[in-house]
Each structure stands twice: as structure tokens, then as C-alpha cells.
A = this chain, B = another copy of it.
């Protein structure tokens, strides 16, 4: 895979372009790419171009953009991960992993048992965007996932739930829940959401509200997964199943 550069403004008319500081640093100092090297430039909305490095000094890295190339195909199913806010760096890992497996959108939600302070969220969305860009460069996708503004879980249930919505439940709440095998027997949906709780799980009231709003419970088996691994495992398994 060629080194990849994120330039949201790139288009068919772009000729030589000077890279912004962060992209210049990544290409020139981290990947140590020099003049003449072939790279790929993507716009984050699904377009990708062939390009060559023309200048690579410490202060000034430029690329000449040539023809469009076929972007990496994304999964056919548009999958949204609705994730209750987790502590520490867990959300960064989730953004990275969801980008990597081809999720269309990530919707952070605030649920009863979330313990994340509003202060720690103030610049989080900006950071998540950067994490998504870094992950997109590595995994080859040319369209970034949409990272939505955090919203209260009841509001998401009320206003935004569409299509198949699967509420991931822990082993203790798995009685009657769908298993992956059950989904393998159903038609592949056009769009779907998986809804993942915080470290402490859902309250019974949230579980019931989700059910009443049309979410179906899904279990991944008898073992207790790390909270931050649940969206990766669920998204990867579902997208692979539906591919």
C-alpha cells in the first residue's frame, strides 16, 4: 500500500499542492518519504488520487496530484456504531477500530451508567476526528466515518433509530437475545446500528426503552468482553457476515 495523505480539498483540478503541517510531518518525518515517491491522496469522502512527492524539505512538503484511482471498497451495509461513552482512551481505540473495519458512522451516547465528565469531552470530538484520519490512512479507506456529536441515549432512540438496531447485551442478560447465527439466516439489511453500553452495562429501564423503541438484543456469547472490544468484535463479525 502506498503512503496515504488526507487532503479534504483535493479534487480533479488539483495540481501541485503544499501539504498542511500535520500531513507534511507525517509523510516527510514519520514515513520518511522523499521526492519522486508515489503516494495516494484522499479527500475523506471517498475520492482518491495518485500523486508524487515533488519537494520534501523539513518546512515544505509538496505533492503533484495526477489521475483518480479506485478507492478501497467499503462494506455494502451501512453500519452505525452507537456507543455509550467510555472512560480514558477507550473511545479513541473504538474510533480507530470502527474506522478500520469499515463502519459508516459512530454515534457516541450518554447513558445512565456513563461516568465520563463533560469537561473531558470538550475537545474529544476533534481528537476523534484525528484518530479516524490516522486509522483511515492505515487501513486504506478513502471515506472517513461520520463521528456525530454525543447525545443522550433516549434522544437517539427517539429521533435517530432507523433500520435494524441491535442492542449488545452482556451474558447475564442474554436470555432470548439473538445470536450471530440467527442473523446469518435473515436477509442482509441495507443499514443497521449496533448499540453498545458503558463499562457498567445498561440499566433495566434503558434496556426496556430500547426494546420498546424497536431495538433487538444481540449476544456475542457467554464470555464477558472488555467494553472497548465489544464494538470492534460486533462490527467486524456483522460486516463480515453480511459481506
Residues on A lying within 8 angstroms of B by beta carbon are: 1, 72-75, 96-97, 100-102, 138-141, 171, 179-181, 184, 220-226, 229, 232-233, 236-237, 239-243
By the criterion CB–CB under 8 Å, are B237 and A139 in contact?
no
CA distance A122 to B117 in the complex (A): 43
Contacts of A241 in B (CB 8 A): 180-181, 184, 237, 241
By the criterion CB–CB under 8 Å, are A233 and B179 in contact?
no
Smallest distance from the beta carbon of A167 to chain B beta carbons, Å?
Answer: 16
Smallest distance from the beta carbon of A82 to chain B beta carbons, Å?
Answer: 19
CA distance A243 to B221 in the complex (A): 8
Count copies of this chain in the complex: 2
Knowing A180-B240, A232-B232, A241-B181 are in contact, say whether A221-B97 is a contact too (CB < 8 A): no
Contacts of A232 in B (CB 8 A): 229, 232-233
By the criterion CB–CB under 8 Å, are B239 and A236 in contact?
no
Residue of B nearest to A218 (CB): B240
Smallest distance from the beta carbon of A239 to chain B beta carbons, Å?
Answer: 7
CA distance A222 to B225 in the complex (A): 26
